[in-house]
């Protein structure tokens, strides 16, 4: 007998609803514009309508929602909703559950991506999986035996604000020397512009210059590699995961930096930790699949 779950990927621009089986196969997807400017209730009405348009939705085992922000997973509310004004502290899970008749759970979008990879992706063979996304920002999450560790207020696993060098410049609201401000795609672009001017449009251009042998670009990449390795080492000394699963747009340039990060990591941890596995994220739709896995993980 197959079991089916509904996954909701709620973003500031679009909302997607999918029917997913227990093996992580997406059977049906519906997508619409979020239209948050029309208010929270408008978005809720839309989500409920989309869920009810899923074939035999009422026979599904539950609903999982991935949202852009930290979630109080006990009460099913978003603690912070920058991209979804009005959703902060809104009874999201309770409302969706009452209107659909299905148990509903929610978690941060990075967390659900981690859950997907732990069930059906690169981490499926490992008890403790730590997922890191390297993109415009840096995000993190981890699972233990396919169970997300969310923490008291939903911030467990978040790594953007980890300090890797307190002697850097103040950039924004994050800590001075926060890894997101020093080694994310946004940070690399900022450093590239400072070195090469406005011709640098994105981090990939800095990686390309380094690959071509430009010494300035190589120095930027070397520093980023050390900062990322230090971040991974900091995480490893606390969590000691079996595997780091790494995704995000920066991985398009993995041939320029990823191996260097891993080798540097080995110099920063105890000898017994040097066998920690690093792997690229595998799934094409971790947000939808991971959201759908939320109710399955709660039943185990």
Q: What is the pLDDT of residues 113-145, one digit of tens each?
A: 999 999 999 999 999 999 999 999 999 999 999
Rounded Cα–Cα distance for residues 168 and 84 (Å):
32
Specify whether the CB–CB gap between 163 and 170 falls below 8 A.
Answer: no
Domain assignment of residue 274, yes or no:
yes
Specify whether the CB–CB gap between 115 and 106 falls below 8 A.
Answer: no
pLDDT grade, residue 154 (50/70/90)? confident
Same domain, 39 and 72: yes
Rounded Cα–Cα distance for residues 284 and 287 (Å):
9
Same domain, 29 and 131: no
Q: State residue 300's pLDDT score.
A: 67
Q: Which domain holds residue 248?
A: 122-280
Specify whether the CB–CB gap between 118 and 141 falls below 8 A.
Answer: no
Closest CA to 107 of 140, 142, 145, 70: 70
- Please count the structural domains in the chain: 2
Same domain, 140 and 265: yes
pLDDT grade, residue 187 (50/70/90)? very high
Mark which of 109, 144, 174 sits at the end of a domain: 109
pLDDT grade, residue 298 (50/70/90)? confident
Same domain, 8 and 147: no
Domain assignment of residue 117, yes or no:
no
Residue 257, pLDDT above cutoff 90: yes
Q: What is the mean pLDDT of the chain?
A: 96
Same domain, 226 and 194: yes
Closest CA to 188 of 159, 224, 216: 224
Same domain, 41 and 150: no
Domain assignment of residue 191, yes or no:
yes
Same domain, 273 and 136: yes
Same domain, 102 and 172: no
Percentage of residues in the chain having pLDDT higher than 90? 94
* Residue carrying the six token digits 């792997």: 279
pLDDT grade, residue 110 (50/70/90)? very high
Q: State residue 248's pLDDT score.
A: 95
Residue 245 CA neighbour count, 13 Å, CB half? 28
Residue 253, pLDDT above cutoff 70: yes
CATH of residue 105: 3.30.420.40
Each residue of 218-246: b (16+ CB within 10 Å) or e? bebbeebbbbbbbbbbbbbeebebebbbb
């Amino acid at each position: 007998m197959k079991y089916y779950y509904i996954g909701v990927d709620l973003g500031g621009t679009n909302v997607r609803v999918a029917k997913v089986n227990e093996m992580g196969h997406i059977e049906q997807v519906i997508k619409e514009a979020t239209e948050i400017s029309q208010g929270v209730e408008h978005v809720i009405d839309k989500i409920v309508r989309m869920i009810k348009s899923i074939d035999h939705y009422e026979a599904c085992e539950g609903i999982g929602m991935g949202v852009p922000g930290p979630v109080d997973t006990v009460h099913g509310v978003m603690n912070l909703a920058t991209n979804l004004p009005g959703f902060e502290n809104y009874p999201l899970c309770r409302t969706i559950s009452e209107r659909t008749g299905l148990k509903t759970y929610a978690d941060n979008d990075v967390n659900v991506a981690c859950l997907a990879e732990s069930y059906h992706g690169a981490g499926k063979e490992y008890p403790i999986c730590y997922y890191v996304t390297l993109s415009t920002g840096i995000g993190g999450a981890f699972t233990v035996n396919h169970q997300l560790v969310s923490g008291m207020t939903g911030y467990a696993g978040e790594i953007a604000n980890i300090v890797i060098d307190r002697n850097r410049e103040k950039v924004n609201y994050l800590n001075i020397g926060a890894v997101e401000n020093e080694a994310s795609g946004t940070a690399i672009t900022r450093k590239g512009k400072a070195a090469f001017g406005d011709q640098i449009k994105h981090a990939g251009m800095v990686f390309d210059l380094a690959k071509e042998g430009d010494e300035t670009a190589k120095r930027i990449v070397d520093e980023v590699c050390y900062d990322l390795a230090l971040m991974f080492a900091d995480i490893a000394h606390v969590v000691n995961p079996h595997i780091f699963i790494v995704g995000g747009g920066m991985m398009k340039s993995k041939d320029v930096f990823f191996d260097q990060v891993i080798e540097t990591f080995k110099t920063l941890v105890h000898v017994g930790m040097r066998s920690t596995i690093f792997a690229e994220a595998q799934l094409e739709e971790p947000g939808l699949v991971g959201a759908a896995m939320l109710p399955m993980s709660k039943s185990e």
